[in-house]
Amino acid sequence: MTTGPDGRAAAARGPLRAAHADREQVIAVLKAAFVQGRLTKDELEARAGQTFAAKTYAELATLTADIPAVPVGLPAVPAGLPAVPAGLPAVPAGLPDTGSAAPRPTTPTRTLGLAARRSGVFLIVGVALTEGAFLTQNPFLLVLAVYAFIAVSGFLGYGIIDACQQRRSRHQRPPAPGSAWPGTPDRSARPG
């Protein structure tokens, strides 16, 4: 829920009951207003509490009525894209990137690539420790090398298993809305 044309439409549905998704959308608008400096921390906390207590669209619309939908001078950003104006860096200079951008979705290929990189690092460490153990006649280095090789097989095995599970889950259709978990009776149907 936002202000502007959409907010007026929501206010027109005023007496209708709001859903959890509507409350989450209001919370997102309030958080954005806080980040932009339009709300103080106390105002954010107070309005967030009122959002969770709101029952109707009218109550939710009053919580964002004084917040503009789009800051003045900035174009509207399509859903799913970061709200950074063109020409500005995503992270201001001197500040660390905290990963606030949406993470890339994992794929079986990315999972296997990550597992291969991790296992490759431990493979190099294991080989180096093995050579060091034979050159220095130190059995402790040989024990560490064995643990490094165990880590190689662990990372690689986990990556393969995880990639197979991801591939399998992509081919499964999600359950229909209102349906129960597989193998459990559907309790949403009422006996007539």
The total domain count for the chain is 2
Residue 153 lies in a domain: yes
Q: Over the stretch 41-53, which tens digit does the pLDDT of each residue have?
A: 888 889 888 988 8
User: What residues make up the domain containing 131?
Assistant: 108-170
Residue 180 lies in a domain: no
Q: Please list, residue by residue across 50-86, b when 16 or more beta carbons sit within 10 angstroms of its beta carbon and e when fewer do.
A: ebeebebbbbbbbbbeebeeeeeeeeeeeeeeeeeee
Residue 40 lies in a domain: yes
Assigned token pair, 192: 């007539």
Residue 119 lies in a domain: yes
Assigned token pair, 32: 């954005």
Q: What is the rounded average pLDDT of the residues 58-76? A: 72
Q: Over the stretch 89-108, which tens digit does the pLDDT of each residue have?
A: 444 444 444 454 445 567 77
Per-residue confidence (pLDDT) for residue 70, from 0 to 100: 56
What is the pLDDT confidence band of residue 88, given thresholds at 50, 70 and 90?
Answer: very low
Q: What is the overall mean pLDDT for the chain?
A: 73
What is the pLDDT confidence band of residue 36, given thresholds at 50, 70 and 90?
Answer: confident
Per-residue confidence (pLDDT) for residue 118, from 0 to 100: 86
Residue 183 lies in a domain: no
